Amino acid sequence: MALFLTPEQIVDIHQTLTRRYGGSPLVRDYGLLESAALAPQEARFGELINRTLRSQAATYWFSIVVNRPFVEGNARTGLVVCEVFLEMNGFQLDMEEAQLADLVKRMALRQIPAKERLLQTIRIRAF
């Protein structure tokens, strides 16, 4: 069973990032934040929709970008939440820094229109 992040942990991550890189630490809509935080755990008929850690990590990232719960910095926060979630569960992203920077940019510009496209792009590995 995977370990999941709470909305409060996601806010802490976002605020840490804004202290480090600048930007607003404000939450724009807490309901949208809760929705993004719970999306990886969504179940239907007692079964998780996102059955793999990779899919759950992509769901965190994509949900934060699409829901835009923060005033700014949603794409960057989504990436770091994805990374923290994977680390909590013994995995890490297996991608070059330039690939991740490009993905953050494309996510911020909404050039990745569906979670499935993001899921096709990201790679993970155990550490």
Residue at 89 is within a domain = yes
At 82, list the tokens.
């994805």
Residue at 59 is within a domain = yes
- A 10 A CB-CB count for 92 gives 14
The domain tally of the chain equals: 1
Q: For position 36, what pLDDT does the model report?
A: 98
Residue at 98 is within a domain = yes
Which domain, by its residues, includes 117?
7-126
* Predicted structure pTM score: 0.93
Residue at 2 is within a domain = no
Q: Which CATH number fits the domain that encloses residue 17?
A: 1.20.120.1870
CA distance 45 to 60: 21
Question: Of 15, 3, 1, 9, which is closest to residue 86 (Cα–Cα)?
Answer: 3
Q: For position 63, what pLDDT does the model report?
A: 97
Residue at 47 is within a domain = yes
Residue at 1 is within a domain = no
Q: For position 113, what pLDDT does the model report?
A: 84
For the residues of 45-69, what is the DSSP string, one character each? TTEESS-SHHHHHHHHHHHHHHH--
Decide: 55 and 63 in contact? Cβ < 8 Å: no
In this structure, of 23-32, 67-76, 116-125, the range with the lowest mean pLDDT score is 116-125
Residue at 99 is within a domain = yes
CA distance 37 to 53: 14
Residue at 23 is within a domain = yes
Q: For position 6, what pLDDT does the model report?
A: 98
Decide: 112 and 118 in contact? Cβ < 8 Å: yes
